[in-house]
Amino acid sequence: MDDTDGAGHIEVPAAAAWRNTTHDWAGGVDTGHLSRIRDDAAAFAPGGLRHLVLEVVAYAADEAESRGGGRCTVTLHADGSVSVADDGRGTDTRFDDAGRAVRKPVMATKDLRFFDHPEPPPLPDGHPRRGMSVVAALSAWLVHTNRRAGGAWTQRYEYGMPVTGLTLVADDGTTGTLVHFRPAEPLPAPDGPAAAGTTAAWAGSWPYLSVEVVDRRTGVSRPRPPRAGRSG
């Protein structure tokens, strides 16, 4: 059955009545949006891998600010992939009338706050924030795992398109979101421990978020505490 509309959105009818805040619950996948990003990687990820990392950390920072504080670990893996793990409430996941889990489509649809905004806020690298879909669309693969008080799920994407369903995983008693991705070529990757330090310094731009950067390519761990004066 073809669930796409004329604009290339995959519809999720049960979610159509849910109030949109950051993403459109009624559109599970926006293929046109993802294609637009892939067709102009230089514009949407002008800082290469570092910019993509900051796009992900920005969501952890949003969550930390909403809770008065939080922690995040950025891990640079030997295979060129990056994982960003936070201790927040986990990506918003709801249940439709049939009892099926529906996760907010942060990876495959635009962030309504930033993507088409004429003056989106800058990330710490000085480039505009556009949203998590930029990371997904420009990654050869991305695995999104979220743990909430009501359950835990994981899903794999390739170039922004889901290639698995939303899969239930065992509850380990924690909450938070883990995004593990490997950028597609020709995005440049940071090279050496100095790059990890730069990423940590930029990540420290968010006052409510404590960030640690672990470079498994070199064994370097670079904690970055939140700014002084943070509440919580």
Q: What is the pLDDT of residues 13-60, one digit of tens each?
A: 555 556 677 788 887 899 999 999 999 999 999 988 889 999 999 999
Average pLDDT, the chain: 84
Helices within 71-227 (DSSP H only):
132-137, 193-203
Catalytic residue chosen out of the listed positions 11, 55, 63, 212: 55
Please count the other Cβ atoms lying within 10 Å of the Cβ belonging to residue 20: 13
Residues 211 and 198: their CA atoms lie apart, in Å, by 12
pTM of the model: 0.83
Q: What is the pLDDT of residues 64-121, one digit of tens each?
A: 999 999 999 999 999 989 999 999 999 999 888 888 898 999 999 999 999 988 999 9
pLDDT range class, residue 3, cuts 50, 70, 90: very low
55 among known catalytic residues: yes
Residues 199 and 13: their CA atoms lie apart, in Å, by 40
